[in-house]
A and B are shown apart, each in its own frame.
Chain A
Amino acid sequence: MKMEKTGVHGIPSTLQERDSLRLRVETYADQQGLVPPLSMEELRDHALELAPSSVSVDYVMVLLNNAVWRETVASIPYERRLLLLPQCLRDFKNCPAEMDEFGLLCEECGRCNIGELQSLAEDLGYVVLVAEGSTVVTRLLDGGKVDAVIGVSCLNALEKSFPHMADGAIPGLAIPLNAGGCIDTTTDVEHVRNAIRLRSDASWVNQVDTARIREMVEGWFSAIEIDSMDTRTEQIAYEWVCGEGKRWRPYLLACTYDALSGADGIFPEKVRRLALAVECFHKASLIHDDIEDDDEVRYNAPTLHCQYGIPVALNAGDFLVGEGYRLIASVPSRTADLMRIAVENHRMLCVGQGEELRGLVDTPPFTAAQLIEIFRRKTAPAFGAALRLGALAAGGDDRLDAALRRFSESLGIAYQIHDDLEEYRSGEEHDLRASILLALANDQRPLEWYAPDSPNLDHVFREMMVEEKAAQLLEHYKNEAIRALNPLASAPLKSLLRRTTSKMLTPAGGRA
C-alpha cells in the first residue's frame, strides 16, 4: 500500500521559507525583549502579530517559544536534557524495533533518522525517548521532573503538550514535523541535529535551585535555640513556629529573592529575618484561627489553645505578631517600605477574616461577589507578603511590587476556589457557609437558609451546575494570575511563579 505524503497545512513548504520565517520570529522576540516563559495567551497574541496569512498561528507559536527559550536551553548541561522523538519517523514497514511501555526501543538500523539522532544525543549525555503517543510525554512534562526538552513532533501532538510545557515553565525547543499522517513522516533533520548540539558557555540560566533553598529555609528554623530563650512565653511561641508546617511562605520569599538577585542560594542575613517574620505572622494567624473556629487538631496534633488554654494561646499569637514586626524592623535598608507591605497585609487579612466571621453568624449566605472579596483580602496577603518582601529585599521596584500584588490576589482567590472544589469533590465538606459553591448556588436562587447537612444540596448543586461554574471561576482567576506575570522582566522569577501557580492549583486526585 502506498502512503501519501502530504504537506502539513500551514507549515511553509520549503526549507528556505521555513528558515526565513524562523529568523523573522527570532528578530521579533529579540526586539520585543520577550521574557520566558510566555503563557499560551502571550504566545498566541504575539504569533497573531507575526504569522503570514498562509502560515498557521500554531506553527509561529512554536517558533516563538523556541526563540525565547533558546538561550536557556543552550545553558543547560546535556545530561539534564530530554530528547523526544516521535516513533512515526521510522520506516514503518521495515522497522525491526520492539516497543515497550514508553515507546520504541530503537535498534539504530539506519532505515530512518531516529537511530542517528538518538545516538548523537546519547553520546552527548541526553536521555532519549522515542515516544508512541502524547500520554507518556505529558506525564513526563508534568510535575517538574524534567529540566529541558528538545522535541520533534507533529503540530497536533505539540498542541497537546504545549500547555504542559507552559504550566511547568519547562525550557524547550520544538521541531515540528513537515509531513504528518503518523507514518513515514519527515522533519528538518539538520535543525534537529543543531538543536541537539546547541550549547553555550553560560552557566545555567533561569535556574532556581528549589530543593537546596527548601533545605536552607528548614535549617533557619531548626537552628533557632528555643531552650536558651529567657521565658516560657517565648519558648511556647517559638515551639509553635518551629514545629510542623510546610514553610511555604518563607520558602517562597527566599526563592523570590534568589530568582531576582541571582545570588544562587547565598542569602544575606536580612532574607533570613524576613523569612522568619512571615512565618511568625502566619503561625500567629493559625493560633487565632484555631481559637475562632474552635478547632482541636492541627498537623495531627492538639492546637495550641488545646495544649495551653485559650488565654495563653491568644497571648502567644500576639507575641508572634510582635516578633514578626521586630524582625522586619531589624532589617537596616528600606525598612519603612518593608514595614508598609507587612502592615498592609496584616490589616487586609484581619478585615477578610472579620468579614468571613461576621458572615458565618448572619444569615443569609454570601453571594459569590462577597465571598471573592473575602478571598481577596484573606488569602491573597498570605502569598503576597512573602513574594513582595522577597522582591523588595532583592532591590525590586514599584512596578514589580504592583505586579506581584496583582498576581497574589488572583492566585489567592484561585487557590481558595480550588480548595473549596477539592473539598466538595472529596465529599469531606461539612460546612459550606464560606464555600464558593454555596455562594454560586445562592446567586442563582437566593437561599434563605442553610443547614450544613441539607440532604438536597447535592441535587441542587448538580441542577445548577455549581461545580462547573466554580471550575470556570477557578480557570478565570488562574489565567488572571498568569496574566499578572506578563510584565515581569526576570525570567527566573517568572518561571518560578508560573510553576508555583500550576503546583498550587493541581487537582489533588488528578489522574492516577
Chain B
Amino acid sequence: MSANKSILVCRCAERGLVDTDGIAGGESVLVIPDLCRAVADGDPMLGGAFSEVHACHPRAVQSLFRFAGHPLPDTTQVIDCRCDGAGHAALGTMEDKPPAWYPVIDYDRCSSCGQCLEFCLFGVYEKAPDGRIRVVNPDQCKNNCPACARICPEAAIIFPKSVEVPINGAEIDDEAAVRANIRVNVDEILGDDVYAALRARKQKRKALLNRKKIERALEERRKCSGGDQ
C-alpha cells in the first residue's frame, strides 16, 4: 500500500461501543461499520498498511488483526475510542448476519493450557499442531456468553464486544487484582465433601440476598423521605 497516511476507523455499528462519530471518511480515511464483523468475514481490506486504527482497546484491536491474519506492525498507532455506549446508538446486527460476538486470544498472555478448549461446548477453539490454542469456529460462539474468558487462568481471552473489564481487552493495570478475580481451582474449593461445600455456599447466597434486601429497603426509605420534604 502506497498511501503515506492511511487511517482505519470503526463505527462499532452493532453495539456503539466506540466514539468515532467526529471522524469523517476521506481519501486517506477508511470508515468501516464494524471491525469485529470485518474480521469475522475475513475482509481483505484489513491487510492494508494502516498508520492509525481508531477503534477499541488496543489489546482487542491487535488481537483482532492478528486473528484476521494481518498482525499490526509496531508502527501502527491504535487509538482507543472505547466509550461503552456513551457515543452514538447501536444500529443492531448487520443485514441477516449473526452478531459478530466471538473471542480473540491475546497471545502475549495465553499459556496454551487448553482450559477454554475443554470448557467450550461448541467447538469454538482448537489446539493447533504447534500446541497453540486457536479460535477456529467464531460463528459457533454464543452471543453475549463470555464464560470461557472468565475461567481463563491467564486472562488471555478477549471478547471485544463485552463490557466487562478486562474481558473487553482493556489494558490490565493491576495484574494482581485481575489474577485474584480469576476463578480459582474448583477442585480445591469443593474439597472432599461436595455437599458441605455447596451448603456453605447456600448460606453465603442467603446472606448476600439479605444484605441486598436491606440496601433496597434503605434506598426506598431515602427516596420516600426525600419526597416528603
Contact = CB atoms under 8 A, between A and B. Distances in A.
Nearest to B196: A127
Given A1-B99, A92-B144, A101-B184, A132 B121 contact: no
Nearest to A93: B144
Contacts of B79: none
B165 interface: no
A133 B119 contact: yes
Interface stretch (A139-147, A268-276, A456-464): A139-147
A127 B186 contact: no
A70 B79 CA distance: 60
Interface string B187-212: 10110111100110110110011001
Interface centre among A92, A108, A128, A133 (most CB of B within 10 A): A133
Interface string B171-186: 0000000000001111
A503 to B, nearest CB: 15
Contacts of A160: 121
B121 A183 contact: no
Contacts of A107: 209, 212
A466 interface: no
B194 A127 contact: yes
A500 interface: no
A134 B121 contact: yes
A337 to B, nearest CB: 40
B92 interface: yes
B76 interface: no
Interface string B113-132: 00100110110000000000
A252 to B, nearest CB: 22
B151 interface: yes
A133 B199 CA distance: 20
Interface in A115-148: 122, 127-129, 132-136, 139-140, 145-146
Contacts of B185: 512
* Interface size band for A: 35 or more
A145 B194 contact: yes
B93 interface: yes
Contacts of A100: 201, 204
Interface in B136-179: 142-145, 147-148, 150-151
Chain B interface helix/strand/loop/mixed: helix
Nearest to A4: B98
A92 B192 CA distance: 33
B194 A140 contact: yes
B92 A1 contact: yes
Interface string A73-88: 0000001101000000
Interface residues of B, number: 36
Contacts of A403: none
A183 B186 contact: no
A141 B204 CA distance: 23
Contacts of B201: 100, 102
B150 A132 contact: yes
A128 B197 CA distance: 11
Contacts of B183: 101
Contacts, number: 78
B142 to A, nearest CB: 4
Contacts of A82: 194-195, 198
Contacts of A512: 185, 187
A145 B119 contact: no
Interface string B90-123: 0011000001000000000000000100110110
A100 B204 CA distance: 11
Contact of B142 (A1, A79, A98, A182): A182
Contacts of B199: 127
Contacts of B202: 122, 127-128
B116 to A, nearest CB: 10
Contact of A140 (B121, B190, B208): B190
A135 B151 contact: yes
Interface centre among B92, B183, B185, B208 (most CB of A within 10 A): B183
A167 to B, nearest CB: 16
A78 to B, nearest CB: 11
A181 interface: yes
A157 interface: yes
B205 A139 contact: no
A236 interface: no
B184 A135 contact: no
B198 A135 contact: no
A122 B184 CA distance: 26
Contacts of A183: 142-145
B225 to A, nearest CB: 24
Nearest to A137: B186
A156 interface: yes
Contacts of A108: 209
Interface string A17-51: 00000000000000000000000000000000000
B142 A102 contact: no
A488 interface: no
Given A127-B202, A133-B151, A160-B121, A139 B142 contact: no
A139 B186 CA distance: 7
Interface string B201-229: 11011001100100000000000000000
B137 to A, nearest CB: 13
A505 interface: no
A135 B151 CA distance: 9
B30 to A, nearest CB: 27
Given A102-B186, A105-B208, A183-B143, A157 B121 contact: yes
B194 A136 contact: no
A92 B190 CA distance: 27
Nearest to A147: B195
Given A100-B201, A132-B150, A182-B142, A156 B121 contact: yes
B186 A136 contact: yes
B190 to A, nearest CB: 7
A331 interface: no
A339 interface: no
A106 interface: yes
B184 to A, nearest CB: 6
A157 B145 CA distance: 15
23 contacts: A1-B93, A82-B194, A82-B195, A98-B208, A101-B186, A102-B198, A105-B204, A105-B208, A106-B205, A122-B202, A127-B195, A127-B202, A133-B119, A133-B121, A134-B121, A139-B186, A139-B187, A146-B194, A156-B121, A156-B122, A182-B145, A183-B143, A512-B187
Given A128-B202, A156-B121, 15 more contacts: A100-B201, A100-B204, A105-B208, A106-B205, A132-B150, A133-B121, A133-B148, A134-B119, A135-B151, A139-B186, A139-B187, A146-B194, A156-B122, A183-B142, A183-B145
